[in-house]
Amino acid sequence: METPFGKHHWFGNFCCAVAVLLIGLASGMGIADWISSMPTETLTSMGGARPTESSIDRTAWELFAFILRRNMTVFVVLLLGLVSAGTVTIVVLLGNGIAIGQLIGFAKGAGMSNVAVANLLLPHGVLELGALCVAGAVGLQGARIALRLPTLNRACLGSLRLGLVLAYGLASLSVAAGIEAFVTADYAESLRGWS
Amino acid sequence: MKALARLAKAPLLPVGFWLAGLVAFTVLAIDGLFVGANPVFVVARLTAYVTVGTLAAVTVAFVAMLGLACGMMLTWLGEPTNPRLIVVAMCRSYWWVGSYVWLGVALLAIDPPVALTALEMVEPHALEARIGGTAAFTWMARLRHVALAGFLVTVAWLLAQQSKPLNAILSVAFGAAALAALTTALGFLAGEPTPV
């Protein structure tokens, strides 16, 4: 990338996006620990909660479509940081980090081993979170765009290569959704049957 | 009096007014609905705060998209436009959204929501029913179109100060249509797939 927005900053922005996600992840795990340490007497009466029918009766292909649509929405929303000086990107990355951190924290709190958590998250997570961090890196360019607003031109905006980013996001998230729907879901099911 | 008038014209003041109102409304609503140290309520409060934070940021992005679309249309119509004009118009129109949120704060202060119980939390439609049964939320839902219309009319009026009124109206109509298309597309993307 040789133009003003691309040349020197994309890798720095990618690192920033990863850092924000990791901060969210650590916060989420901390929150999960904090919640787990609370008294839980009141929860015993609520043990009858069951997932709804719609969440159980999904075929693998429906699950694939569901995951892909949700992740693409997050991907597109992360790109909205371009028009909000990066605000949306930071908030959404932080929110997603907190959600994943809580998930990991609660799973570990429930006695799941590190290997099982890694098996559940890493195969699709590397591609999925990688794609989201790429979108985050692009979204964080919004801060620079806001500062350069009076001197913006078509060449500057073209250097963002949004078409390429969207194509990469779609490809990467499709593969990740495929792994999550066809591999991770089966693994999660086997863990449930085993416990 | 002049100082007050000058303050009212400050572009960032309405945005601050809206943000302060949003924080007050969020705290009153969330801490009113989910009361207690039960972990279920703690998770619900946390989730709700993160959701509101995300929505606020996305709102800013949508307004920026509206501004971009208005600016593009004005340029296409041959009007002299610059980023500052658009930013000031968008920011000053936030008085409408800010007033709308503060009205919600007043309504919540008059008639606060009844807190959900731990058993209600596991019922699928209990939260919806509680929100529907709280006057503040019902009135906020009714008045949101008024706030949106006021916002768009103010943007058009402020843009018309520097360009032909018809062109300003056309640019806002184009911006609103572009924004509607974007939100519809995002809603379609995020929606549940239809069962095969």
Mean pLDDT of B104-126: 84
Domain membership flag for residue B5: no
B121 in reach of chain A (CB within 8 A): yes
Domain count across chain A = 1
Q: What is the pLDDT of residue A83?
A: 85
Parent domain of A114: 10-35+60-194
Domain membership flag for residue A2: no
Kindly write down the DSSP assignment for every residue of A102-136, as one continuous string: HHHHHHHHTT--HHHHHHHHHHHHHHHHHHHHHHH
Model confidence at B38: pLDDT above 70 = yes
Domain membership flag for residue A118: yes
Distance CA A68, CA A57 (A): 18
| Residue type (1 letter), B1 | M
Chain A residues whose CB is inside 8 A of the B58 CB are: 77, 80, 88
Q: How confident is the model at residue B122 (pLDDT cuts 50, 70, 90)?
A: confident
Domain membership flag for residue B72: yes
Domain membership flag for residue B6: no
Domain membership flag for residue B54: yes
Nearest-Cα distance to chain B for A119, in Å, is 26
Domain membership flag for residue A45: no
Kindly write down the DSSP assignment for every residue of A39-77, as one continuous string: --GGGGGGTT----HHHHS--HHHHHHHHHHHHHHHHHH
User: What are the pLDDT digits (tens) for A59-105?
Assistant: 888 889 889 998 999 999 999 888 888 888 999 999 899 989 988 99
Domain membership flag for residue A40: no
Domain membership flag for residue B192: no
Q: What is the pLDDT of residue B20?
A: 95
Parent domain of B20: 15-185
Domain membership flag for residue A4: no
B53 in reach of chain A (CB within 8 A): yes
Higher-confidence residue of A155 and B154: namely B154
Q: What is the pLDDT of residue B194?
A: 41
Domain membership flag for residue B41: yes
Domain membership flag for residue A129: yes
Chain B residues whose CB is inside 8 A of the A95 CB are: 50-51, 53-54
ipTM: 0.71
Q: What is the pLDDT of residue B146?
A: 93
Domain membership flag for residue A46: no
Q: Residue ranges of chain A with pLDDT lower than 70?
A: 1-8, 39-57, 192-195
Nearest to B8 by CA among B85, B66, B94: B94
Q: How confident is the model at residue B195 (pLDDT cuts 50, 70, 90)?
A: very low
Domain membership flag for residue B1: no
Q: What is the pLDDT of residue B127?
A: 82
Domain membership flag for residue A184: yes
CB atoms within 10 A of CB B124: 8
User: What are the pLDDT digits (tens) for B80-107?
Assistant: 888 888 989 999 999 999 999 999 999 9
Contact between A48 and B82 using a beta-carbon 8 Å cutoff: no
Q: What is the pLDDT of residue B8?
A: 67
Domain count across chain B = 1
